[in-house]
Amino acid sequence: MLADRSCVVEHAALTVAADDATAFEEALQRGFEVLARADGFCWAQALHQVEDPTTYVLLIGWDSVEAHTEGFVRSDLFGLWRAEIGPYLTARAIVTHHVLGPTVGGAR
């Protein structure tokens, strides 16, 4: 569960070409390994929409909003991340940040 660790959650809605999903997910896994090297990174999880397979939601945990918007975005890692996933995006990513709210259940 996201609540395993109390991080701010970046929510990024992305669109890719319909025939690029497999290659995009391979690039995304490489990109996530870049994110994992960033200060203040907690975890990252991609969600692939069933109703519209050209749409992905990336959920990325950070220690704070600033760890993403000031630390990561201004670091050399940002260019490496964008180089992996940028070529697949067919629209500008829609990015917001969220704090964890109520939760129930989970795997344990």
Residues that bind a copy of itself (CB under 8 A): 1-5, 8-9, 11, 25, 28-29, 32-33, 35-36, 41-52, 55-57, 59, 61, 65, 96-108
Nearest approach, Cβ of residue 37 and a copy of itself (Å): 10
Nearest approach, Cβ of residue 38 and a copy of itself (Å): 10
Q: What are phi and psi of 35, to 5 degrees?
A: -55, -40
- Asked if 35 and 44 touch (Cβ cutoff 8 Å), the reply is yes
User: Cα 9 to the chain's mean position, in Å?
Assistant: 9
DSSP-assigned letter for residue 71 = I
Query: Nearer to a copy of itself by C-beta: 29 or 79?
Result: 29
Query: Nearer to a copy of itself by C-beta: 76 or 102?
Result: 102
Q: Give the burial class of 2: count Cβ atoms within 10 A of its Cβ; 0-12 exposed, 13-18 middle, 19 or more buried.
A: middle
Nearest approach, Cβ of residue 108 and a copy of itself (Å): 7
Nearest approach, Cβ of residue 96 and a copy of itself (Å): 5
DSSP-assigned letter for residue 89 = B
Query: Nearer to a copy of itself by C-beta: 17 or 36?
Result: 36
In whole angstroms, give the CA distance from residue 15 to residue 99: 24
